[in-house]
Amino acid sequence: MSGSDFSDQTCAPVAGPDAGADLHVTHPTARRMIRAARDILARDGYAGLTLEAVAAEAGVNKASTRYYFGNKEGLVNATMAEIVLDESADLRPPDTVMTAERRIDALIENVRTISLDPDSFTGFFELLPQATKSEAINRHFVRLYETWFDSNVDWLDLRGQDVTDELRRGLSMLLSAVIDGLAVQETIFGSSYEPDVVLNALRTVLAGLIPATAGAEQSAGT
């Protein structure tokens, strides 16, 4: 990466690493440019991700990319937020009350779907190295993952349960680590990969750690 890729311009608030609680870009034009960025990453890799290329791919003028993202760093932050928070949204807790067993089964299936989706992780793998090269991008990654960890706690229905804070935190991190790891291994092994071995082990671990009463008390009261 050249020094000019990440200029000292201030990133637009919509995508900046310290931009407040709402990490998702919502404006339709900005989202179209992020979709274009993900397509470029999948096709041309990080080297092909420039403000000019994104503008051309999205059918907007270059000034729009600087208006919404500020610079390449802002674009990277917004694109990574789209990838990670989409995964977090896919793991959002169900609206219906579930027993711990049903909740774990549903979670396992969601983990399978997300981790084995090549469209999501192609862009992720292209952007990940930038977290080691830019402190601002690294901070943004941390915020995204903390949001993801928090959603995992909700999925497992661990709030208010008789579970230590350390175990609650560890389980939330473990779920994200499993998804990341499965994606890496699937990329390496390709069609010969057997994710069920990992997912069945994860189901056993979760069943042994999550209280059987998780979700059950609320169910009994309905």
SS in 3 state form for 160-215?
CCCCCHHHHHHHHHHHHHHHHHHHHHHHHHHHHCCHHHHHHHHHHHHHHHCCCCCC
134 lies in some domain: yes
Tokens linked to 174: 């473990």
Confidence of residue 19 (pLDDT cuts 50, 70, 90): very low
61 lies in some domain: no
Question: What pLDDT score was predicted for residue 151?
Answer: 83
Confidence of residue 87 (pLDDT cuts 50, 70, 90): low
Neighbour tally for 199: CB within 10 Å = 17
152 lies in some domain: yes
Percent of the chain at pLDDT exceeding 70: 76
Question: What pLDDT score was predicted for residue 2?
Answer: 36
122 lies in some domain: yes
Domain of residue 200, residue span: 81-220
Per the structure, how many domains does the chain have? 1
43 lies in some domain: no
The closest of 1, 219, 11, 202 to 104, measured between CA atoms, is: 202
54 lies in some domain: no
pLDDT, tens only, 101-154? 888 888 888 888 888 877 778 888 999 999 999 998 999 999 989 988 888 888
9 lies in some domain: no
141 lies in some domain: yes
